[in-house]
Amino acid sequence: MTSLNFLLLAFTLSNSIISWPAGAFAQTTLTPVNVPIEGPPAGFNAALVPDSSSAGEPVLESFVSFSIETAFFPDFAGNTGAPNNFSRNLLEELREFQGSLPNVRVGGNTQDYALFDSTLQAATRGIYSDASKDYPTTLAIGRSYFESYQTWPGVKFIHGFNLAKNESVAAKILVDPVSDICKALSDGKLLYWEMGNEPDLYKTSAQGVVRPKSWSEADYVTEWSDKVESIKEALKSECGNAWTSEQKFKWIAPSFAGTKNSLDSVKSWNAGLDKAGVIVKFSSHNYIGGATQPGVTLRGTLMNHTKTVASIAAHNAEQKALSSAGMELDYILGETNSLYNQGAPGLSNSFGAAIWGVDFNLMAAATNIKQVFMHQGTDYRYASWQPISTSKTSIGTKPPYYGNIAVAAALGDVTNSSVRVANIPLNQSTEAAYAIYSDNILSRLMIINMNEYNYSVPTPSPRPVPSYNFTVPATCKGSGVVQRLIANGSDAISGISFNGMSWNFELDGGKGKLLGNATRNEIVWVASDGDVSVQVPDSSAALVQLTC
């Protein structure tokens, strides 16, 4: 290599590490300085970026999507008289990066508590119990509930039906709202249907056991098939034959809570789950851990690439086993987030969780998981945004949303090209990197430094800024652009930006706004042999836009 220009920032260089004072990113405009270096620096040790042959299969449009708890969907969407424009703005902003609006699944635990009440004037009536303080365990929904499907133009929805209720009256109530649902999801709003949420927990759930211990995969498949058929008959009679056509009668399943619970996905598939041929996506759920599990921390649980890889690997193994059983559908995560039981305060609502979300989503994409629906709920600690103000939580954009933005930016416009992601193996569990390919051409690198940096301690230490070195194809030589996902530290819950932009509710109702005190679109130089170095502060991520 004859020469290599590294992006250095205007701070004191000590060995190969820059130390910034706490809060420097939030308070100081950083000026990049291009410093030529003859030959590679000592210990350059570049990671070789793999070619596209090691990447996952192309991701689906709307890869960054959301699952919204049934009980709280009206909070997020509003109604025709008072649409939630804050939520709509956040969804539209994601379209600017990934080329399409997120899909929205309406489901979750309360999907299997919800019963239709045609006399109910309000959208919902919920009763809370000791089983959960976060959502109602008895839920009635009225006709006005379905107005919420009409407030986000262009968004396509997955509507979830109640499988858990198994009495004869519940079977009738299951089909009673079908005509209202058809009206709400007309004009191209319907994406798919879903029958039941996490039936692999029906025999064991802490929120209440709803099936006997003897309930088997064959029993589940029989119930699922019978209720899907009852929906089909109701759609035909109430909404017309078009609603039962191959183009519109599409389902996701089985929506299991995970890969190791009381029902086995392969046995369910072999028992004839898709004997009618109406399932179009195999949907599973995943949480990296539990909100109240002993030992759960940012450092060891969320900001830990090894932990994320292991969690996703269980789905990769399941997908492989299903493929051997003849299942050829796209594998998606129809519900996922950081810590089950709605997240832990100080962890799931911190900037560290946003960084985790970037690593998790891109690792999923790199391993043939085609789409990811991040779960949301009012007052949920892991929510990307709080849609309304309550006695517990103020309306606002939360740290995980910035992770959603960074993932969408990393993938780019998925509607314009075939986008694939490859994991770049690094040495430490606190670091991760990904190569993103558009039509098999390297387009971007995402570098994630998950070393924990806490700024809220009384006297924070200087923030380390290590260099990450890569060798990309020589066709990428010249300049690239660095876009940073940054906050004051992993424990920050505000003051977050991506490439100098904020999506805070207070600025313009969730529309992206350029901050006046943040650096954006920094220049990084790629040498003629493809060597490139990017400095990434602890507890941050950097997206490198390349021209290859």
Cβ–Cβ under 8 Å, residues 523 and 467: no
| From 335, 431, 452, 522, active-site residue | 335
Q: How many CB atoms lie within 10 A of CB 82?
A: 10
Q: How far is CA 83 from the centre of its chain?
A: 24
d(CA 42, CA 334): 46
Q: Is 323 helix (H, G, I), strand (E, B) or coil?
A: helix
d(CA 395, CA 413): 29
pLDDT digits (tens, 9 = 90+) for 119-178: 999 999 999 999 999 999 999 999 999 999 999 999 999 999 999 998 777 778 899 999
Cβ–Cβ under 8 Å, residues 482 and 524: yes
More confident residue, 26 or 249: 249
% of the chain at pLDDT higher than 90: 89
Of the given ranges (206-210, 299-303, 522-526), which has the lowest mean pLDDT?
206-210
Given a cut of 90, is residue 24 above it in pLDDT? no
Q: Give the pTM.
A: 0.93
Average pLDDT over residues 33-39: 37
> What kind of fold does domain 59-418 have according to CATH?
TIM Barrel (3.20.20)
Given a cut of 60, is residue 18 above it in pLDDT? no
Give 44's pLDDT tier (boundaries 50, 70, 90): confident
pLDDT digits (tens, 9 = 90+) for 260-307: 999 999 999 999 999 999 999 999 999 999 999 999 999 999 999 999
d(CA 91, CA 51): 32
Q: Is 335 a catalytic residue?
A: yes
101, 155, 383, 386 from 403: Cα distances, Å: 16, 21, 11, 15
Give the pLDDT confidence score for residue 23 in this predicted structure.
Answer: 34
pLDDT digits (tens, 9 = 90+) for 377-409: 999 999 999 999 999 999 999 999 999 999 999
Q: Which amino acid is at 142?
A: G
Given a cut of 60, is residue 464 above it in pLDDT? yes
Which uninterrupted H or E stretch holds 410? helix 399-411
Q: Is 223 a catalytic residue?
A: no
Average pLDDT over residues 341-348: 97
Token representation of residue 236: 């035909």
Residue holding tokens 């994409």? 365
| From 69, 92, 93, 217, active-site residue | 217
Q: Is 199 helix (H, G, I), strand (E, B) or coil?
A: helix
Give the pLDDT confidence score for residue 518 in this predicted structure.
Answer: 83
Given a cut of 60, is residue 7 above it in pLDDT? no
pLDDT digits (tens, 9 = 90+) for 493-520: 999 999 999 999 999 999 999 999 888 9
Ranges of CATH 2.60.40.1180 domains, the chain: 47-53+422-546
CATH superfamily, domain at 47-53+422-546: Golgi alpha-mannosidase II (2.60.40.1180)
Burial class (CB in 10 A: 0-12, 13-18, 19+), 83: middle
Ranges of CATH 3.20.20.80 domains, the chain: 59-418
d(CA 377, CA 375): 7
